[in-house]
Amino acid sequence: MRPVAAIAVAAVAVAAVAAARNSRSTPVIALLAATYFPIRVAVLRTVRALRSPARSPNLHPNHSFSFEVLLSVYTYIFGEVPVVVPRTRANVVTIADAQHVPEARALLGGSKAAITSVSARNGKVEGVWLQDCSGVHQRRAPFSASSPPSQADLANKSVLLYFHGGAFVFGTAKVFASYNAKLIKEFARAAAAAGKNKELAVFSAEYPLSPEAKHPAAIDAAVEAYRWLVEDLRVAEVYVGGDSAGGLLSLQLLSVLASAHPHLPAPCASLLHSPWIDPMIAVPIPKPRPVLDYFVPPMARFLFRLHFAKADDAHARAAAAADVRVAPVYGIEPPLGDAPPPQPVLAARNLIVYGDWEVLAEAIERFAERANRVRPGAVQLFAGGGMPHVFAQLFLTLPGKAGRLSVESVEAAAAFLVNSGRTV
What's the residue count for the chain? 424
End-to-end Cα separation, the chain, in angstroms: 49
The two counts, helices (H) then strands (E), for the chain are 14, 8
Q: How far is CA 14 from CA 3, 30, 37, 329, in A?
A: 16, 14, 12, 45
Dist. CA 200–CA 191, nearest whole Å: 10
Dist. CA 277–CA 314, nearest whole Å: 17
- Judged against a pLDDT cut of 60, whether residue 29 lies above it is answered with no
pLDDT band at 359 (very low <50, low <70, confident <90, very high): very high
Q: Please tell me which residue, 170 or 186, carries the higher pLDDT value.
A: 186
pLDDT given for residue 4 in this prediction: 37
Q: Measured on CA atoms in the order 215, 221, 224, 230, is the torsion positive or negative?
A: negative
pLDDT given for residue 227 in this prediction: 96
pLDDT band at 5 (very low <50, low <70, confident <90, very high): very low
Mean pLDDT (the chain, rounded)? 80
Residue 116, strand partner residues: 129
Dist. CA 384–CA 224, nearest whole Å: 33
- Judged against a pLDDT cut of 50, whether residue 102 lies above it is answered with yes
pLDDT given for residue 88 in this prediction: 67
Q: Taking residues 153-169, what's their average pLDDT?
A: 89
Dist. CA 399–CA 64, nearest whole Å: 8
Q: Taking residues 266-292, what's their average pLDDT?
A: 88
Enter the pTM of the model: 0.85
pLDDT band at 137 (very low <50, low <70, confident <90, very high): confident
pLDDT band at 111 (very low <50, low <70, confident <90, very high): confident
- Judged against a pLDDT cut of 90, whether residue 407 lies above it is answered with yes
Q: Which of 211-220, 266-275, 327-336, 390-399 has the highest mean pLDDT?
A: 266-275
Q: Are 271 and 241 in contact (CB under 8 A)?
A: yes
Q: Are 232 and 202 in contact (CB under 8 A)?
A: no
pLDDT single digits (tens) 285-342: 888 888 888 888 888 888 887 787 654 566 665 655 555 555 555 444 444 444 455 5
Helix H or strand E segment including 271? strand 269-273
Dist. CA 108–CA 105, nearest whole Å: 5
- Judged against a pLDDT cut of 90, whether residue 57 lies above it is answered with no
